[in-house]
Amino acid sequence: MRVLIATREQQGTSPSDEDFAVEGELVTPVVIECPDAMCDVCTRAWFGLASHGGTTTAMVVDRPGVTELDLRRALHEWLDCRGTIDLIVQAAESGAYEVDGTVVVDPVEAVDELVDAHVAEIAAICRAFPAGTVVSRLGDLVSPRVTQRAA
C-alpha cells in the first residue's frame, strides 16, 4: 500500500527542520495534539512508528509489503507508548470521548476510531501527492517540499 516514511531528503532546506526519526520507517501525522499549547512538535512533525522520533520531512512511497493491518498495528503500538490509548479509554469510560460530535462510550470502539482516523489521514495525504513527493506539515496543512535549484 501507499504509505508515508521518514526521509532525510530535503532535510535542512528549511531552517526549522528537525529529524529524530529513522530513515525509511513508517510515519504518521498526529490526529490529537498534546495539551501543551506551546508545543510545535505536534504541529509540524511526522512521528516515526518504530523510533517514535519526530521528523519534519516525510515521503510518499509505495510499500507493497505493508498491509493496512501492519499499519494499524504500528499505529496502535505508537499510540499506546505515547499514553494516548490510556487517555482515550479513560475518556470513553467516563463518557467524555466524542468523535465528530457523537459520544463513544465503548473504549475498544474509541481506540479503533482513533486508529481509523490516522489511517484515513495517511491515505488522504498519499492520494494527494505522487509517490516520491517529500511533504511537510503544519497542523492539517500538508504541502510538498519544492526542490531548490541552483541558479
Nine-digit cell string for 113: 476510531
C-alpha cell at 138: 503544519
Q: Which stretch binds Zn ion (CB under 5 A): 30-38, 54-62, 96-104, 133-141?
A: 30-38
Q: Say how far apart CA 106 and CA 71 lie, in whole Å.
A: 23
Stretch that binds Zn ion, among 36-44, 106-114, 118-126, 133-141 (CB under 5 A): 36-44
Q: How far is the CB of 35 from Zn ion (least distance, A)?
A: 8
Q: Is 34 in the site for Zn ion (CB under 5 A)?
A: yes
**Minimum CB separation from Zn ion for residue 79, in Å?**
14
Sign of CA dihedral 100, 113, 135, 78: positive
* Choice from 22, 42, 66, 87 touching Zn ion (CB under 5 A): 42
State in angstroms the smallest separation of the CB of 84 from Zn ion. Answer: 11
* Nearest CB to Zn ion, comparing residues 75 and 126: 75
User: Given candidates 9, 39, 68, 109, which one binds Zn ion under the rule CB under 5 A?
Assistant: 39
Stretch that binds Zn ion, among 19-27, 37-45, 48-56, 132-140 (CB under 5 A): 37-45
Nearest distance in Å: CB 30, Zn ion: 7
Cell of 14: 528549511
C-alpha cell at position 11 = 532535510
What is the closest distance, in whole angstroms, from the C-beta atom of residue 36 to Zn ion in the complex?
Answer: 5
Distance separating alpha carbons of residues 71 and 136, to the nearest angstrom: 20
**Residue 19 DSSP symbol:** B
Pairing mode, strands 102-103 and 98-99: antiparallel
138 lies in the site for Zn ion, by CB under 5 A: no
Grid cell 517529500 is found at: 134
Alpha-carbon radius of gyration of the chain: 16
Which residue ranges make up the site for Zn ion (CB under 5 A)? 34, 39, 41-42
